[in-house]
Every structure is written in structure tokens, then in C-alpha cells.
Amino acid sequence: MSANPGSLKRWNPTPPERGSFPLDHFGECSTQMQEYLKCLKLVKGNNAPNCRLLAKSYLSCRMDNQLMDKSDWESLGLPKDLDKPAAAVDKKD
């Protein structure tokens, strides 16, 4: 019996654009990740400047711990001048 019955084409998976990267098994960047996810939840997924600062902090941590290749910020969609500390996101009740 063949794995491709009939005239179905064989599916060839494509690798991710930036390649694979190791998981953070030791939790080296888990604090930054949790802060970023909390920010996204607070702003309901909208593109907020404070969340971009936290994203930059998280990606920087991953690069510093060799959990991903070093990349320039612009190729990751973040401007270079986004280095100011993140202010607290206003909570709306």
C-alpha cells in the first residue's frame, strides 16, 4: 500500500524563516516572557508601545543566553531607539 493514495500530492513541510531555536528549558527568560504576555493581555492584543518594549527585553534576553541568533532590531520589527524603560500599562477596569 502506498502512503499517497490516488492522485494526492506528497506534502513537503517548509522550515521556519529564521530557523529553529532552542526552548528555554532553564527559564532564563521566563520573567520577561510573562511580563510581555501580561502586557498583551492587558491591551487585548493591540499594538502598544509598552508591549513592544517588553518584547524587545524578552528577545534581548533570548539573544544574550544564546536561545536565538543575534539579529538587528529592525529585522525583528522593532526600532533601534526603543531602549527606554517600559512604563506601567494603565489598567482599565
Q: For 37-68, what is each residue's pLDDT tens digit? A: 999 999 998 888 889 999 999 999 999 998 88
Residue 40 domain flag: yes
Mean model confidence pLDDT for the chain: 80
Residue 18 domain flag: no
Number of other residues whose CB lies within 10 A of the CB of residue 25: 7
Structural domains counted in the chain: 1
Query: Which residues span the domain enclosing 66?
Result: 30-70
At a CB cut-off of 8 Å and minimum separation 6, what does 58 contact? Answer: 29, 32, 33, 35, 36
Average pLDDT of the segment spanning 87-92: 46
Residue 90 domain flag: no
Query: Would the pTM count as exceeding 0.95?
Result: no
Amino acid at 32: Q
Residue 48 domain flag: yes
pLDDT top residue among 10 and 61: 61
